[in-house]
Amino acid sequence: MTNNIKEKRETQKEIKSGYVCIVGKPNVGKSTLINNLLNIKASIVSPKPQTTRVNIYGYTIKEIDNKIIQLVLIDTPGYHKPVNILGQNMIKHIELALNEADVILMIIDATTPLADEDFLFINLLKEKFNNKNIILAINKIDKLENRNLALTIIEEMNSYGLFKEIVPISAIKNENIDKLIKVISNYLPYNDYLIDPKDKQPFIGNLKFFIAEVIREKILLFTHQELPYKTAVFVEQIEERKNDLIYIGATIFVEKESQRAIIIGKNGQMIKKIGKSAREELEFILKKRVYLDLWVKEKENWTSKLDFIQSIGY
């Protein structure tokens, strides 16, 4: 079959496409799920300015029930109660993404109880976005000793009267991912492609955002809970080198020397731990070897300096 005939046949099929906003606090498996969704057929893209006003991580195309489905994924920072200008900016960014979305996909961890951030976000959705198509993915069901516990979680989450559908998944084991994609596609509008599959946009801008979020999540995972909201990660450089190696240089900004000391750790052990974990996840996602250089710099009271916040992409 020639490419022209194949393209003609594909254009005769109905197309459903839409923006899918992915939300969830750090360490619920969001990065692994995004990677799974994009692995079907993926291109990381940097959208044209008129296309959307929010960061897009990438898109995936799949055929379901003789229809062409394009999911355009919007990645968001972890939701929290804002305590400074940075926090307010991040919440505005999240709400902007939620407004753009045709489907909101919230992810929780089956192995841990709901946290304050989860309840804050659920309340936000109920107050401002209850008219949206909201789907819940309960991740890490493979780690449950008793799978029936998933039914208890589903019953609890259904009690909020918020979710159109709830899908238990294991992102790392690739369990129920196809079902999740099909559920999402049910709520997408019939549409033309939002991003032309032939249009291979440069992806460095949004890749920097994603890499920064991976590093920031590791800071949250390995340091005190209050510290990450005083840190920012700015990716200074991404360079493809020989032998399928990607060099990444990133700066972690903090407000105080004491915070810098925490992130560096005794004899540099903490920064090594953060770097190793981030590098391993980035290699899994990018399918290439990664050399990750991290620096930690003090920038006094940066979370209240709007010019600086904007200059580093927040």
**Band of pLDDT at residue 208, cut at 50, 70 and 90:** confident
- Band the pLDDT of 80: cuts 50, 70, 90: low
pLDDT, tens digit, 9 for 90 and up, residues 134-152: 999 999 999 998 888 999 9
- Confidence check: pLDDT of 11 > 70: no
Is 163 within 8 Å of 135 (Cβ atoms)? yes
% of the chain exceeding 90 in pLDDT: 42
- pLDDT reported for residue 95: 86
pLDDT at 9: 47
pLDDT score at 274 = 95
Note the pLDDT of residue 45. 47
Mean pLDDT for the chain?
82
pLDDT level of residue 43 (50, 70, 90 thresholds): very low
pLDDT band at 17 (very low <50, low <70, confident <90, very high): very high
Mean pLDDT of 84-92: 73
Cα–Cα distance list, 107 to 75, 132, 177 (Å)? 12, 16, 13
| pTM to 2 decimal places | 0.72
| pLDDT score, position 61 | 86
pLDDT at residue 20, as a whole number: 93
Would you kindly state where each structural domain of the chain is located, as residue ranges?
A: 3-186, 204-311
pLDDT digits (tens, 9 = 90+) for 151-206: 999 999 999 999 999 999 999 899 999 999 999 999 999 988 888 777 554 333 46
The model's pLDDT over 221-272, given as tens digits with 9 standing for 90+, comes to 788 655 656 788 889 999 999 888 999 999 999 988 989 999 999 999 999 9
CATH of domain 204-311: 3.30.300.20
pLDDT at 225: 57
Residue reference for tokens 């990018």: 286
Say if CB 122 and CB 105 are below 8 A apart. no
The partner residues of 175 in beta bridges, in order of sequence, read: 170
CATH fold for domain 3-186 = Rossmann fold (3.40.50)
Is 204-311 in the same CATH topology as 3-186?
A: no
